[in-house]
Amino acid sequence: MLTGELHSQSLPYLHLHDKVYQALQLMNDNHVTHLPIVEGEKYIGLVSEEDLMQADNDNSPLEELQQSFSGISVKTNEHFLKALQIAAENGLSVVPLVNDENELTGTVVYNDLLKYASGFMSLNEPGALIVLEIPSNQYSFNEISKLVETNDAQITQLNTSNDIESGMMQVTIRINKPEVSDIIATFQRYDYNVKYFFGEELYTNELRSNYDNLMNYLRI
């Protein structure tokens, strides 16, 4: 989904002639800590509640704070995960959306981005989450997928992250079945390090503990 396709709550825009106290009131009324500033249809920047609170005079026009405006924005033809990344990295409650002419076409709030991300990752669907830790040079999507499918399950989402210093990769897998003890056993049988997992089994921790104890016993 592109950011231009997002449907979010309607937020007011600020203008350079607006007063500091007016901007603070609008933020309070809309439960956000950032609002975009426009001149005509052109996007000028993003002002934060923190910047406004540091103003010497509540009656000052926003134009006097222009040096503290952030130019952060996301194009409407970018994937919505880009907006989520920008919001998370910069601590934004609101992400401005602009077109190629730098015209403000809308805004999306951080909480709505999280909801879109939840739907994108099928977190509201029945299933389980498995996190593997493996050496980066041993990662094979085909093998991981095959091991899951041998247990009559499918991967609905897979994400990877690398630790450059250790050379290890963390593989997070979303599975379309909630009971995954058989899948966990398969991964462990093929020497995969199952870092942790979340399913509907009541004996999740006990299973892992018993397996580790067994492996330690066999190594004696």
The string of DSSP letters for 137-175 reads: GG--HHHHHHHHHTTT--EEEEEEEEETTTTEEEEEEEE
Helix, strand, or coil (residue 197): strand
Residue 209: predicted pLDDT: 58
Residue 153: predicted pLDDT: 93
Task: Answer whether residue 211 shows pLDDT above 60.
Answer: no
Residue 200: predicted pLDDT: 62
Contact 118, 127 (CB under 8 A): no
Task: Answer whether residue 218 shows pLDDT above 70.
Answer: no
Residue 77: predicted pLDDT: 92
Residues of the chain with CATH 3.10.580.10: 3-118
Q: What does the alpha-carbon distance between residue 72 and residue 37 come to, in Å, rounded to a whole number?
A: 12
Instruction: Give mean pLDDT, residues 127-135.
Output: 90
Contacts of 175 (CB under 8 A, 6+ apart): 127, 128, 129, 130, 148, 153, 154, 155, 156, 183
Which structure tokens are listed for 182?
A: 């058989």
Residues of the chain above pLDDT 90, percent: 64
Residue 204: predicted pLDDT: 45
Contact 147, 197 (CB under 8 A): no
Domain 128-219 has CATH 3.40.190.10: no
Residue 149: predicted pLDDT: 96
Residues of the chain with CATH 3.30.70.260: 128-219
The larger pLDDT score, comparing residue 131 to residue 124, is at 131
Model confidence band, residue 190 (pLDDT cutoffs 50, 70, 90): very high
Contacts of 64 (CB under 8 A, 6+ apart): 55
Residues 3-118, CATH architecture: Roll (3.10)
